[in-house]
């Protein structure tokens, strides 16, 4: 067991690179009602504490500290990265603007798309659907959201997104219509599902002739189909859709804003996107480390449904873990946050689905950071009821609260983390912690390190992973909606 002069809520298990909660915590967790009482008492104490009152100035600057060296370290945790003066910059070329006249006049071609997956996977496909419509010079029919077998949400586009805003923002780029016109209702559409990473020229050569003849093109399965490396104007269009046009519907946005304000009202807060759901462990080929029983549940599910495994099937769990391909569990997230200097009274919003093992799986985080809240705990009675059984809308609320946080950190990669990374960059490079899993995990198991040395190493490993500006073009295949520089942001230099 690691010795850092702090109380670790769990020992390491005999499973490679896993951490296991004590059986007593799994079977006898503290009740949710008791946790709520503790939180209310603590909030009341903090509100009336003279020390807290004297730190109002620091809180206004995003600092939640105490005096001395420890206070300096904790103030650093809330410090934002240097955005180097980058700001949104979507200036389309003269050729693009000139071509828009013909695109918007066209009444012959209508692109229909069916987008699949969870909320943020659908967002990505909607972005690319707009770009493909522009490439083909067609009008875009409002995308159809396919019901996901896991999410089970039957919401339509207008239930989640502000449709009129979407149309209005894109009015000079692509004509968006709510339905096919009567002249095309009886048309048999040309159907297609492009291969991965296709170019604009491939799309035109494959579809344009038949599209011109038939008038309706239906595309399915657009996830990662369009190349990430496009001409500059099309990259700008991607940004325009992702950051400007795709605004959540008013009821969703307003509820997300209210919950974010409840988090913000008592100082800065961190948003965690925790990927600890059962299907995540199954799909990644990883183990949750809660107990041998839970690990067996995941292994059995994977054996029964091998098609769910999306990670490289020739790798063992241990190899995946050490390669940084597994989600962090609650113990690992706790140790990472402590290593980065998160204060014990940090306010944390956790986004994500129900973790395998329920609330017990989160106990290490709750014990170390008691100001730990979800949307369900922050919402007023009945406030979430209109969106019951609407997983996509619940995810949208998580997205809003996470995007508005002072710091965001995902426990694993994924579409939501990538979308928020780009959104926070576009908003001025708000702090975004990318866990350096592959390099940090060996230190988690090095019992010879002192707490001070461990924390120093963790900070050093993450000094360039805090949301600083990064060029998309520094690596091939990067998504501009994740790395909006240089196509969508510029500075004065």
Higher pLDDT, 492 or 259: 259
Mean pLDDT score across all residues of the chain: 87
Give first-to-last CA distance, the chain, whole Å.
51
Percent of the chain with pLDDT over 70: 84
In tens, the pLDDT along 377-416 reads 999 999 999 999 899 999 999 999 999 999 999 999 899 9
In this predicted structure, the answer to whether residue 5 has a pLDDT above a threshold of 70 is no
pLDDT at 70: 52
Strand segments, DSSP code E, in 297-383 are 347-351, 372-373
Residue 119 pLDDT more than 60? yes
* Token representation of residue 246: 């795709």
pLDDT at residue 241 tops 90: yes
Q: What percent of the chain has pLDDT over 90?
A: 76
Residue whose C-alpha is closest to residue 77's, from 267, 329, 351, 328:
267
Span of 59-68, 209-218, 339-348, 387-396 with lowest mean pLDDT: 59-68
Mean pLDDT over residues 117-130, rounded?
96
For 258-383, list the strands marked E by DSSP: 269-273, 347-351, 372-373
Q: How far apart are CA 52 and CA 64, in angstroms?
A: 9
Query: Largest alpha-carbon pair distance within the chain?
Result: 75
Tell me the C-alpha distance between 262 and 133, whole Å.
Answer: 40
Judged by average pLDDT, the poorest of 168-172, 300-304, 348-352 is 300-304
Residue 63 pLDDT greater than 70, yes or no: no
For the stretch 430-440, pLDDT in tens is 999 999 999 99
| Segments of the chain assigned to CATH 3.40.50.11340 | 94-246
Rounded Cα–Cα distance for residues 461 and 138 (Å): 47
pLDDT digits (tens, 9 = 90+) for 424-465: 999 999 999 999 999 999 999 899 999 999 999 999 999 999
Cα 266 from chain centroid (whole Å): 24
Say if strands 110-115 and 139-141 run parallel, antiparallel, or are unpaired: parallel
Phi and psi (nearest 5°) for 368? -85, -35
User: What average pLDDT score do residues 417-428 get?
Assistant: 97
pTM over 0.75: yes
**Per-residue model confidence (pLDDT) at position 444:** 94
Q: Which residue has better confidence, 67 or 79?
A: 79
Q: Please provide the DSSP assignment of 223-262 as one string.
A: TTTB-S---HHHHHHHHIIIIII-PBPHHHHHHHHHHHHH
Q: What are the CA-CA distances from residue 188 to residues 112, 142, 300 (Å)?
A: 12, 18, 45
Architecture of the domain defined by 94-246: 3-Layer(aba) Sandwich (3.40)
CA distances, 440 to each of 162, 206, 219, 436, 459 (Å) = 41, 46, 42, 6, 10
Which three-class secondary structure state does DSSP give residue 46? helix
Q: Which of 103-112, 161-170, 276-285 has the lowest mean pLDDT?
A: 276-285
Burial of 435 (0-12, 13-18, 19+ CB in 10 A): buried
Secondary structure element (H or E) that encloses residue 268, with its range: none
Judged against a pLDDT cut of 50, whether residue 4 lies above it is answered with no
pLDDT at 493 (0 to 100): 67
Q: What are the C-alpha distances in Å from 321 to residues 16, 117, 296, 440, 465?
A: 8, 25, 17, 11, 20
Mean pLDDT of the 271-291 span: 93
Average pLDDT over residues 18-37: 38
Residue 64 has pLDDT above 50, yes or no: no
**Which is nearest to 144 in space by CA: 221, 213, 211, 204?**
221
DSSP 81: P
How distant, in Å, are the alpha carbons of 4, 20, 272 from that of 365? 17, 14, 11
- For the cut 50, the answer to whether the pLDDT of residue 72 exceeds it is yes
Query: Tell me, what's the pLDDT at 260?
Result: 99
pLDDT band at 246 (very low <50, low <70, confident <90, very high): very high
Question: What pLDDT score does 54 carry?
Answer: 31
């Amino acid at each position: 067991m690691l010795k850092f002069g702090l109380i670790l809520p769990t020992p390491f298990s005999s499973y490679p690179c896993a951490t296991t909660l004590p059986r007593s915590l799994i079977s006898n967790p503290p009740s949710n009602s008791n946790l709520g009482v503790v939180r209310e008492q603590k909030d009341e104490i903090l509100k009336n504490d003279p020390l807290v009152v004297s730190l109002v100035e620091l809180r206004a600057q995003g600092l939640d500290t105490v005096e001395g060296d420890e206070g300096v370290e904790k103030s650093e945790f809330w410090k934002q990265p240097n955005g180097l003066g980058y700001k949104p910059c979507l200036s389309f070329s003269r050729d693009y603007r000139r071509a828009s006249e013909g695109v918007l006049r066209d009444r012959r071609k209508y692109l229909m798309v069916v987008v699949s997956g969870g909320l943020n996977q659908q967002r990505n496909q909607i972005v690319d659907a707009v770009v493909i419509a522009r490439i083909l010079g067609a009008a875009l029919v409002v995308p159809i959201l396919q019901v996901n077998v896991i999410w089970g949400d039957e919401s339509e586009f207008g239930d989640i997104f502000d449709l009129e805003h979407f149309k209005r923002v894109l009015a000079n780029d692509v004509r968006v219509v709510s339905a096919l016109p009567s002249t095309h209702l009886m048309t048999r559409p040309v159907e297609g599902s492009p291969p991965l990473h296709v170019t604009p020229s491939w799309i035109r050569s494959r579809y344009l002739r038949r599209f011109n003849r038939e008038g309706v093109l239906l595309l399915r399965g657009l996830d990662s189909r369009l190349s990430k490396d496009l001409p500059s104007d099309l990259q700008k269009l991607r940004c325009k859709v992702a950051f400007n046009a795709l605004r959540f519907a008013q009821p969703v946005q307003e509820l997300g804003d209210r919950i974010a304000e409840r988090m913000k009202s008592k100082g800065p807060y961190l948003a965690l996107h925790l990927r600890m759901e059962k299907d995540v462990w199954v799909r990644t080929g990883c183990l949750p480390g809660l107990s041998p029983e839970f690990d067996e549940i995941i292994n059995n599910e994977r054996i029964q449904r091998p098609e769910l495994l999306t990670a490289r099937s020739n790798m063992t769990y241990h190899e995946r873990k050490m390669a940084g391909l597994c989600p962090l569990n609650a113990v690992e997230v706790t140790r990472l946050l402590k290593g980065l200097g998160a204060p014990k009274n940090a306010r944390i919003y956790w986004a994500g689905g129900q973790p395998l093992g329920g609330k017990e799986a989160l106990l290490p985080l709750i014990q170390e950071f008691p100001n730990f809240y979800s949307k369900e705990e922050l919402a007023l009675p009945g406030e979430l009821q209109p969106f019951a059984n609407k997983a996509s809308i619940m995810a949208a609320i998580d997205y809003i609260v996470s995007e508005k946080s002072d710091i965001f950190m995902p426990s694993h990669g994924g579409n939501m983390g990538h979308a928020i990374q780009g959104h926070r960059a576009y908003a001025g490079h708000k702090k975004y912690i990318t866990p350096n899993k592959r390099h940090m995990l060996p230190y988690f198991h090095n019992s010879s390190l002192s707490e001070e040395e461990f924390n120093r190493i963790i900070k050093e490993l993450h000094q360039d992973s805090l949301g600083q500006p990064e060029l998309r073009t520094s690596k091939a295949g990067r998504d501009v909606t994740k790395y909006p520089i240089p196509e969508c942001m510029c500075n004065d230099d």
